[in-house]
Amino acid sequence: MGALVALLLAGSAAPAPAMVVIDEATTVREEAPPHGQIGMSTAYRISDSVPAPRSFEFRKRALHVGAAIGIHPIDHDEIYYVLSGTGVVHSDGDEKALKAGTAAWLYRGAKVGIRQTGDEPLVLIIAYPNKAPAP
């Protein structure tokens, strides 16, 4: 009987929104990185193309040589995943080197940032949750 009730309840749920497919080429722009505008970057504001409300942000950013996302406090967990290049990530005074294939998981309440090192851009995927949408 419990399985039947679960099946009936599942059938009455509102349908999920239609999927969204985004070509990053439609989201690209050249801009100074956030939190200090240190150098220049290529920003791919991928999740901006998703209709609201959305539960998290998904971005790609290429920090040009010498560029950095300045140190700033975060009020959510955040992930920096390195696609190419090298850099140094900062969290509450601790610094670690990053290279392609590494990820930094940064925690709510920390003061974080990342800077490009080396001779080529540091290309990152950045993901973090949105605040709960207003009712």
Structural domains in the chain plus CATH codes: 20-129 (2.60.120.10)
| C-alpha distance across the termini of the chain, in Å | 35
Q: Classify 119 in phi/psi space as left (phi over 0), alpha (psi -120 to 50) or beta.
A: alpha
Residue 122 burial (CB < 10 Å; 0-12/13-18/19+)?
buried
18-61 pLDDT, tens digit each: 899 999 999 999 999 999 999 999 999 999 999 888 899 999 99
49-96 pLDDT, tens digit each: 998 888 999 999 999 999 999 999 999 999 999 999 999 999 999 999
**How crowded is residue 98: how many other Cβ atoms within 10 Å of its Cβ?**
20
Whole-prediction pTM? 0.85
- The one-letter amino acid at 123: V
- The one-letter amino acid at 78: E
